[in-house]
Amino acid sequence: MEVKGIDGTAKLTADEVIITRKGIFSVASPDKNIALSMISAVELKRAGSFSSGYMAFVFNGGVDKKSPSIGLDENAITFNKKDQEAFAAFCEAVRSKVAALRTQGGRAHVSIADELEKLAGLRDRQVISPEEFEAAKRKLLAS
């Protein structure tokens, strides 16, 4: 699975996310391979009528910057409103693969309460909508 944004492309493989930069962005932020086993969260900020959205990966040892929408975060890709659904689907695919890795062997590495707390934090920071929070919560509680 692959999505193309304003400042780069993200590709999901069996065991990692590969971020490839294009144009002038490749100078400021090099290509990056992030192992799925290292990803702790995937943030998605929806694009507005006059603003870009972004998808950012949070992981152990990663650099957490506050403004990925201006193209300075090496762990994020910005996108236009027309590409929003493709990025949302990509985020869900990454989250599913990460969750599957955590539950291999029948044992969850992260509790449902921890996941709900992360989701609530994303909702409170308006990274995900209340509807996305409720859908993710239902999915967690059903598992």
pLDDT digits (tens, 9 = 90+) for 92-113: 999 999 988 887 754 445 567 7
Which of 135, 110, 108 minimizes the C-alpha distance to 122? 135
- What is the pLDDT averaged over residues 16-28? 77
Which of 103, 99, 81 minimizes the C-alpha distance to 91? 99
Cα–Cα dist 45/74, whole Å: 16
**Residue 2 CB partners (closer than 8 Å, separation 6+):** 9, 10, 11, 12
The answer to the question of residue 20 being in a domain is: yes
The answer to the question of residue 115 being in a domain is: no
The answer to the question of residue 133 being in a domain is: no
64 or 130, greater pLDDT = 130
Backbone dihedral region of 83: left (phi > 0), alpha (psi from -120 to 50 degrees) or beta?
alpha
Residues spanned by the domain of 6? 2-109
The answer to the question of residue 24 being in a domain is: yes
Mean of all residue pLDDT scores within the chain? 83
Tell me, what CATH number does 36's domain have? 2.30.29.30
Percent of the chain residues topping a pLDDT of 90: 40
What pLDDT was estimated at residue 107? 46
Flag whether pLDDT at 10 surpasses 70: yes
- How many domains, the chain? 1
